Structure 1
Amino acid sequence: MSVKFAFWAIAALVLFAAEAMAPGAFMLWFGFAAVAMAVAVLLAPGLGWLAQAVLFSVLAVISVAVYRRWFRGKGRQSDKPLLNRRAEQLVGTVATLDQPIEGGRGRVRIDDAFWTVEGADLPLGTRVRVIAVNGMTLKVQEA
C-alpha cells in the first residue's frame, strides 16, 4: 500500500467522521471525493501531489454539485406540512368572538386556546371564519 493511497484513505475516514460529528451532508461528499482519490492513486500510482490536489478539488466540486442537484432536500417532504404550524391549521375554522373586534383587533377561543384576531369591527358573539394567518394573529371575516 502506497503512502498516497493511505493518505487519501485516512482523509476519507476523517471526512466521514467529521460528517458524523457535525451532520449536514456536506463533508460526506468531500469524503466520497477522497475515496475516489484513493482509487485514482491505486490506478495511477505515478500521479504527483499537485495533480492529486487539483483532481481532488475537481472531484469535490463535482460531488457537492451532485449532492445539491439530486439529493438535497429529498426525503424531507411531509405528508402533514402544517404539523408544527398550529395557527395555519386554523385557516377555514369558524369560531365565535370571545371579545368584540374593536379597532381591528379582538379575540376568539378555538379548542383550548385564545387567539388574537384581526378584521372588521364586529360585536361580541359574532361567528367569524379564519381566512389567513399573520404570525400568531388570525385574520378573520364574518362567517
Structure 2
Amino acid sequence: MDFLFSEGMTYWHWWSLAAILLVLEVMAPGVFFLWLAFAAAVTGFAKLLVVTMGIEIQLLVFALCGILATFAGRRWLVRKPGETPDDADSDAPGLNQREAQLRGRVITLAEDVTGGETRVMLDGTTWRLQVAGPLLAGQQVRITAIKGTVLQGEAVNAQ
C-alpha cells in the first residue's frame, strides 16, 4: 500500500477502483457496490479538477460521496413496498408479482369445495384454492393470499 501513498493517488487510481467495484457489483447480489463505484468515480473527477488535492481530502470526498450515494440510492430503490423502480413508469405495474395481481380478485367456483379445497382456473393456470367451510359451484370467492402455489380465499356473501 505504500506505493499509493508515496506519490499520492491520481484520478486514474479512483477510476480503477470504480471499475473494480462495478465488477464486484455484477458478481455480488444487491446494489451496494454500485454506490461506492459512483463515489470512487466522483472522487476521481474531483482529483482530476483539483490536482493538488491531498490524500486526506480525497478519502473524505470518497467517504462523503459514498454515504450520500448509498442513502440516495436506497431511497430511490425503496419507494414504497411492492413497487420496484421500474413499476412507476410501467404500463403493467405488478408484472411478475402474482400475489399483487391476484389478491382481492373475486372468482366464481366451477366445482364444489370438499375438504376445504378445490381447483380453479385463472388466466390459463390451474390453482389449488383453500377456503373455510363447504361451498358450492357457482358461489363467489375472494382471493386473500397466495402461499406457495396454493390460493387462500374467503367466501363472498351475496347481497
Whether contact under 8 Å (1:130, 1:141) holds in the other structure is yes
Q: How many residues align?
A: 137
- The offset of 1:56, in angstroms, is 0.5
Residues 114-133 of structure 1 mapped to structure 2, 5 A cutoff: 115-122=128-135, 125-133=136-144
Whether contact under 8 Å (2:87, 2:93) holds in the other structure is no
Is residue 95 from structure 1 mapped to residue 101 from structure 2 by the alignment? no
* Residue in 1 that maps onto 2:4: none
**1:132–1:27 Cα change, 3 Å:** same
Unaligned runs of 5+ residues in structure 2 are 1-7, 79-83
**TM-score, normalising length from structure 2?**
0.65
**TM-score, normalising length from structure 1?**
0.70
Following the alignment from structure 2 to structure 1, what is the Cα–Cα distance between the partners of residues 104 and 121?
A: 9
Is residue 139 from structure 1 mapped to residue 154 from structure 2 by the alignment? yes
The 3-state SS of whatever aligns with 1:28 is helix
* Residue in 1 that maps onto 2:47: 41
Unaligned runs of 5+ residues in structure 1 are none
The 3-state SS of whatever aligns with 1:98 is coil
1:52 to 47, 53, 58: 58
Between Structure 1 and Structure 2, the one with more strand by share is: 1
Q: RMSD between aligned alpha carbons?
A: 3.2
The 10-residue stretch of structure 1 (28-37 or 83-92) with the greater mean CA deviation from structure 2: 83-92
Following the alignment from structure 2 to structure 1, what is the Cα–Cα distance between the partners of residues 72 and 104?
A: 39
Whether contact under 8 Å (1:117, 1:140) holds in the other structure is no
- The offset of 1:129, in angstroms, is 0.7
**1:22–1:96 Cα change, 3 Å:** same
- The offset of 1:108, in angstroms, is 4.6
* Residue in 2 that maps onto 1:74: 85
Question: Which structure has the larger Rg?
Answer: 1
Identical aligned residues as a percent? 22
Instruction: Give the AA of the match of 2:130.
Output: V
The 3-state SS of whatever aligns with 2:112 is strand
Whether contact under 8 Å (1:98, 1:109) holds in the other structure is no
Instruction: Give the AA of the match of 2:144.
Output: V
